[in-house]
A = this chain, B = another copy of it.
């Protein structure tokens, strides 16, 4: 009664349409016994396209050629893991010791791939795009200046606190881009831009600030035409593999409520009225 009035009594067809229209997608269509993804029957995709091709199809609506998909695949392979010092990996390992199943461990961990931990690739694609729009490699210095002023003191995708002087993934990935550019799979202009950033930073700082995994995968994503947010999304997919592997390994190791450091180190308390030894039981 009450509820009818509250919701109004929409007319037949209208009601059906506005509800069905509330969720709209170009990604998937279904009928009983039939699933089409981006217009393609699922059973024709299964067994016939690679997982990276499927990822591309889902995200962009078209199937990439084999070589382009291979380049994407290299980026996905490269970023799977960086060990338990990465907060996301540590969180996933802690999570399973708290009782979470793998989906929950993934959730807590992938959530952490935010602006600082997982956003560098996205930002690097943006930066490369800025430089490209401004005319390419020669515009690098000016664009870096602008980035520093308008966006952040951090140049995304360059420098590594651990891998010095070289992040071993970067030259390998750039080599693959060069090969793909020779093949005509991509233009290679974002590889040139990435290298120009590296050169400029070296000159600016007087020491190498080498391209890291985010800078290198961003070259690939930019070469392949992925918009910036998908660079973050693809990194999340890739790193999910490492998160999963570590969470599963920790399940095997056991442990309950595993903290960040061995318990006896505890933490430093800097606040008022600390507990004196004699106070404690």
Asked whether, in the complex, the Cβ of A45 is within 8 Å of the Cβ of B7, the reply is no
Q: Which of A226-250 contact B (CB under 8 A)?
A: 229-230, 232-233, 236-237, 240-242, 244-249
Contact of A8 among B15, B51, B85 (CB under 8 A): B15
Query: Is A37 in the interface zone, CB < 8 Å from B?
Result: yes
8 Å CB interface, A73-93 against B: 73-74, 76-78, 80-88, 90-91, 93
CB distance from A13 to the nearest CB of B (A): 5
Q: Is the CB of B20 within 8 A of A268?
A: yes
Given A168-B43, A256-B116, A28 contacting B108 (CB threshold 8 A):
no
B85 touching A266, Cβ below 8 Å = yes
The interface residues of chain B lying within 8 Å CB-to-CB of A150 are: none
A131 close to B (CB within 8 Å): no
Most buried by B among A70, A80, A161, A260: A260
Scan residues 48-105 of chain A and give those whose CB is less than 8 A from a CB of chain B.
49-52, 54-55, 58-59, 61, 70, 73-74, 76-78, 80-88, 90-91, 93-95, 97-104
Query: For residue A81, which residues in chain B have a CB less than 8 angstroms away from its CB?
Result: 27-28, 37, 58
CB-nearest residue of chain B to A38? B271
Does A259 touch B at the CB level, under 8 Å?
yes
Q: How far is the CA of A37 from the CA of B242 in the complex (A)?
A: 10
Query: How many copies of this chain does one complex carry?
Result: 4
Partner of A275, one of B30, B58, B74, B175: B30
- Contact among B34, B51, B271 for A168, CB-based, below 8 A: B34
A260 touches B85 (CB 8 A): yes
A50 to B99, CA, bound (A): 31
Given A9-B15, A58-B245; 15 other pairs, CB 8 A cutoff = A1-B1, A3-B6, A10-B264, A16-B265, A25-B84, A35-B169, A38-B271, A43-B171, A46-B172, A51-B76, A54-B77, A98-B113, A102-B233, A103-B233, A237-B240
Q: Taking the complex as formed, is A110 at the interface, i.e. its CB lies under 8 A from any CB of chain B?
A: yes
CB-CB contacts below 8 Å: A1-46 with B: 1-43, 45-46
Bound: A93/B28 CA distance, A: 14
Q: Are A95 and B111 in contact (CB under 8 A)?
A: yes
A33 and B97 contacting across the interface, CB-CB below 8 Å: no
